[in-house]
Chain A
Amino acid sequence: MRAATLFLALLLTALIGAPGFAQQTPPLPAEKPESKETVQSDISTREIAIQSNFTGIEILIFGSVDFSDSRTPGSGTYDVIAVVRGPDEPIVVRKKQRVAGIWVNGPGKTYDNVPGFYAVLSSRPFRAIASDETLKELGIGLSELDFGRHIPSESQEQAFRTAMIRLMEEKELFKEDDDGVTFIGRSLFRATVALPVSVPTGRYLVDVYLFRDGELASESQGTLEVTKAGIEAFLYTLAFQHPFVYGLLGVLIAVLMGLIGWYAFRRE
C-alpha cells in the first residue's frame, strides 16, 4: 500500500513535471532576434515606350527575401505586398442629373492628386497581412489613398470618391490583386501587373514591402518610366509644344491628299 502510494506520487510528479521540463528545454530568448531579413526586387521592364502598336503591357516584378533566421517561407510567416503607383494628376468627377428629360453633367468635384495608375499586389489578402494603421501609414490600398480632397462634410462626397475609384477600376487603372504575388520556393517571389492602353506617361514608383508577422520587416523601391516613343512621341510633343505647326501639318496633309484624290479621280 505504501509502495503503491509512492509509485502514484512519482507518476503524478512525472506527469505534471514533464511538460514543464520539456518547455524549458529549448531556451527561449527573452527578446526576439533583431530582424535582419531584407527584400530585394526589380522590374522586368524599367522603360516602357508607347508606340503606334501599343495596346497595353504586362510587367513582372520579381525579388527575393534574404533571411536571417531559419523560418521557412510560404508558411504564412512572410508576406509580400507590391504597390505600383503612377504619376499624380488632377481629376474632375461629375455626376449626370436629369434636366428636362436630358441627362446633363452636374457640377464637378476636383481631386487634386489622383495617381494615374495604382495597383496593390499581395501574397494574400493584404488587409489580413498588416493592421489598418500600418497600411494607412504606408498608403497601401485604394481606401487608404489620399486624393488631395478633404471635404467629408460635403454631400455625396463618399459617393463621388467611390464612383471615381470604380471608374478607374473599370479602366484597369486601379486594381487590388490579393494573390498577385506568388512565392517560388523559399525566397523568390514574382508578381505580374498589366498596364492598360490608357496608362498615363511619367515616372512610376514600385514599392515592395516585406512583412513578418504583420510587422514591416523590409522594403525596396524601384522606378519605371512610361514614355511615348517614335512617331507618337514626335507628334505628341509637336501637338503640345508647337501646336500651330502641328495644326498646319494636319491641314497640309489634308490639302495634299485632296489634290491626290482629285488627280486620281480626274484621270478616269
Chain B
Amino acid sequence: MFQIYLPIAEISVNLLVMLGLGATVGFLAGMFGVGGGFLLTPFLMLSRIPPAIAVATGANQIVRASVSGTLAQWRRGNVDVQMGGILIAGGIAGAVVGVLLLKYLREAGQAGLIISLTYVCFLGSIGALMLWESINAIRRARAGKPVSARKSGQHIWIHGLPLKMRFPRSRLYISIIPPLVIGVLVGLLASFLGVGGGFIMVPAMIYLLRMPTNIVIGTSIFQIIFVTAIVTLLHATLNHTLDIVLAFLLIVGGVVGGQFGVRAGQKLRGEQLRALLALMVLAVALRILFDLVARPSNLYSIVPLAGA
C-alpha cells in the first residue's frame, strides 16, 4: 500500500513512511531551531537509500527549511547580508571541492564509509560538547547563578589578521579570512553530509567572530539557503544523485512537521532543549558508529560501475 517508485534511487518506498520521516525531522528541526540535515541524511541511509542520494536529497530538503527560517529572521532584522555574502563565497568554494571529492570517493566505493566516519566524528564531538555545556548551564541555573553571558570586546588572535572589513549590522570590524574559512568548512560539510552546517557555523560565529547571537542565527540560516542550493545543483549536475520525488515527499512532510516543532520548542527552556538536542546528536553518532564496527551480515556488496 502507498508504495511509490523513486526514479533516481530506483527503489520503491512507502509514501507515508517518507512523509512521516520528513515530518519528524521537520518537527525536531523546528523545535531545536536547526536545519535537521544531520538527522535526515542518516535516517535516509538507514531506509536503504544509497548514501550519495541521501546526501544530495537531504541538501535539497534543507533549502526549503532555510527559506522559511530566513524569511522569519529577515523580518526581525537579524540577517547580516554582507557577512552572509562572505560566508556564501567560502561556502561555494567548499561545496565544489566537497562534491568533486564525493564523486571520486563514490567511484572508489568508499563514499558510504567516509560519509559515515565524518558523521561520527562531527556529531560525536559536537554532541559531547553541547551536552557538557548544557549540563553545566542546567546546574548553574539550579544553583541560582545567572546563566553565562557571552563575553564581548575581548581581543583575540583573530583581530590580528589582515583584510579587515566593517560589518555594521554585526557591529564588527574584523578580517574576512575567518568568515571565509568558516564558509569553506560549512560548504564542505553541506556537500559531504547533506547538512546545512548550522551546528558548526553558529558556535564558530559566536565564539570566534564574536557576532551577536541573534544576528548569527539569522545570518547562518540565510547562508545555508545558498550553500545547500549550490550543493543540490552540483550533486544533480555532476553526480546525478538528486531524487526529486523523494525530496518532494520530505519537503511536504517537513513543512507540516516544522510548524508543530516550533510550538513545542517554545514550551521548553533553552538549556533543556540543548541537552535534549545533544543527546539526540550523540545517539545518531553512536548508531552510525555501530554500523561501522559491527560485522556486516554480508561482507560482499555489488554496485553498478556507473555508481548509484
Residues of A within 8 A of B (CB): 50-56, 89-96, 101-105, 108, 110, 160, 163-164, 166-168, 197-198, 228, 231-232, 235-236, 239-240, 243-244, 246-251, 253-255, 257-262, 264-266
CA distance A246 to B10 in the complex (A): 17
Q: How many residues of B contact A (CB 8 A)?
A: 59
On whether the beta carbons of A164 and B302 are closer than 8 Å, the reply is yes
B64, A258: Cβ atoms under 8 Å?
A: yes
Among A160, A251, A265, point to the contact of B300 (Cβ < 8 A): A160
Contact partner of B63 (CB less than 8 A), chosen from A104, A166, A243, A251, is A251
Q: Which residues of A contact B68 (CB under 8 A)?
A: 258-259, 261-262, 265
In angstroms, how far is the closest chain A Cβ from the Cβ of B119?
A: 13
Q: Are B293 and A101 in contact (CB under 8 A)?
A: yes
In the assembled complex, the Cα of A108 lies from the Cα of B109 at a distance in Å of 8
Alpha-carbon distance between A172 and B165 when the two chains are bound, in angstroms: 62
Within 8 A of A (CB), among B257-295: 258-259, 262, 292-295
Q: How far apart are A267's CB and chain B's nearest CB, in angstroms?
A: 11
* B129 interface contact, C-beta 8 A: no
What residues of A have a CB within 8 angstroms of the CB of B298 in the complex? 163, 167
Cβ contact of B11, chosen from A104, A197, A249, A260, cutoff 8 A: A197
Q: Are B300 and A261 in contact (CB under 8 A)?
A: no
A and B contact pairs by CB, cutoff 8 A, 10 listed:
A54-B5, A89-B306, A103-B294, A164-B300, A166-B300, A228-B7, A247-B236, A250-B244, A251-B233, A255-B229
Binds A, one of B37-45, B193-201, B210-218, B247-255: B247-255
- Please indicate the chain A residues that have their CB under 8 angstroms from the CB of B258 in the complex: 261, 265
Contacts of A198 in B (CB 8 A): 10-11
Give the docked Cα–Cα distance between A102 and B293 (Å): 5
CA distance A243 to B61 in the complex (A): 18
Whether the pair A167, B301 counts as a contact (CB closer than 8 A) is yes
Check B5–A254 contact: CB distance below 8 A: no
- Whether B302 and A168, one on each chain, are in contact in the complex, defined by CB atoms closer than 8 angstroms, is yes
Q: Does B8 contact A (CB under 8 A)?
A: yes
Considering the complex, give the chain A residue whose CB is closest to the CB of B263: A268
Q: Given the complex, which residues of B lie within 8 Å of A244, measured CB to CB?
A: 233, 236-237
List, in ascending order, chain A residues with CB within 8 A of B245's CB.
52, 232, 235
Q: In this assembly, does B296 line the interface, its C-beta being within 8 Å of a C-beta of chain A?
A: yes
Are A95 and B247 in contact, CB atoms less than 8 angstroms apart? no
Residues of B within 8 A of A95 (CB): 299-300
Question: Are B237 and A243 in contact, CB atoms less than 8 angstroms apart?
Answer: yes
**A265 and B262 within 8 A (CB):** yes
Q: How far is the CB of A225 from chain B (nearest CB, A)?
A: 17
B103 to chain A, nearest CB (A): 13
Q: Judge if B305 is at the interface, Cβ distance under 8 Å.
A: yes
Pick the 10 closest A-B CB pairs, nearest first.
A258-B67, A247-B236, A254-B63, A163-B300, A90-B305, A261-B255, A247-B233, A254-B64, A262-B68, A262-B71
In the bound complex, residues from chain B placing their C-beta under 8 Å from that of A265 are 68, 72, 258-259, 262
- Answer whether residue B232 sits at the interface, using C-beta atoms and an 8 A cutoff: yes
Give every chain B residue within 8 A of A228 (Cβ-Cβ).
Answer: 7
Residues of B close to A250: CB separation below 8 A: 60, 232-233, 236, 242, 244, 247
Question: Which single member of A53, A166, A239 contacts B236 (CB below 8 Å)?
Answer: A239
Contacts of A261 in B (CB 8 A): 64, 67-68, 254-255, 258-259
Chain B residues, CB < 8 A from A167 = 298, 300-302
Q: With A247-B233, A250-B244 known to touch, is A264 a contact of B60 (CB < 8 Å)?
A: no
Q: A231 vs B5: C-alpha distance in the bound complex, in angstroms?
A: 11
